[in-house]
Amino acid sequence: MIGLWHWLTSPATWSGSEGAWALIGQHLGYSGVVMGLAALIGIPLGLWVGHSGRGGSAVVNLVNGMRALPTLGLLYAAVLVIGPQLSGSAAFQVPAIGVLVILAVPPILAGTYSGIDAVPPDAHDAATGMGMTGWQRLWRVEVPCALPLILSGLRSAALQVIATATLAAYVGLGGLGYFLQLGQGARDYPMMAGGSVLVACLALVVDLVLAGVQKLVVSPGLSPESESSDR
């Protein structure tokens, strides 16, 4: 514990191009790109499946199957297969980001589909009775009702991506996983423990930020706190 404290409080840990601040920036950069791409895939697909009612069981099976994939093995395989087709840093960045997107899509897809699927039938009937089209019903009724579960899926995906992005260091992409890789090679256990603490703290901060966003954008009547108080 003393060694961990000295490592965390040492100025050398935080300064330079391989210091903690720079690596946190890299980690957030990769995670942000991955989350953006995963949301572009998972949210529209979840909206379509939930709204149309088609392929719900296939989505559940797909999500469960993708969650069982061995991330590190898939990362190395992607680098070996896709990397030679690219040049420069893209040979490592593209496979790593692709694998992390595969990891992030399932919770986003599941949250979006579950949210749309859970919209009460009364809300559908009321929207239809008001003469809304299917498109209007989706965006004016279903998406607002499903927003808590959609954002929960995004929060779950963000936590998984931030935790798993540490593996990117093993193919030379930096991020906070660099401390784990370097510490493992040098048997510097305070560095490994410190890297783990930084990853956990970063995940916690991001989750708190997303929780704040969720509280701001979700209608009070749809929040989990409101539902529990109604009971």
Domain ranges of the chain: 24-220
Q: How confident is the model at residue 228 (pLDDT cuts 50, 70, 90)?
A: very low
Q: Are 202 and 176 in contact (CB under 8 A)?
A: yes
pTM: 0.86
pLDDT mean over 180-197: 89
- Where does the pLDDT of residue 224 fall: very low under 50, low under 70, confident under 90, or very high at 90 and above? low
CATH architecture of 24-220: Orthogonal Bundle (1.10)
Residue 120 confidence (pLDDT): 83
- Give every CB contact of residue 190 below 8 A, 6+ residues apart in sequence: 3, 4, 6, 7, 183
CA dist., res. 122 & res. 191, Å (int): 56
Q: Can you give the pLDDT at residue 132?
A: 82
Tokens of 150: 């959609």
pLDDT at site 133: 81
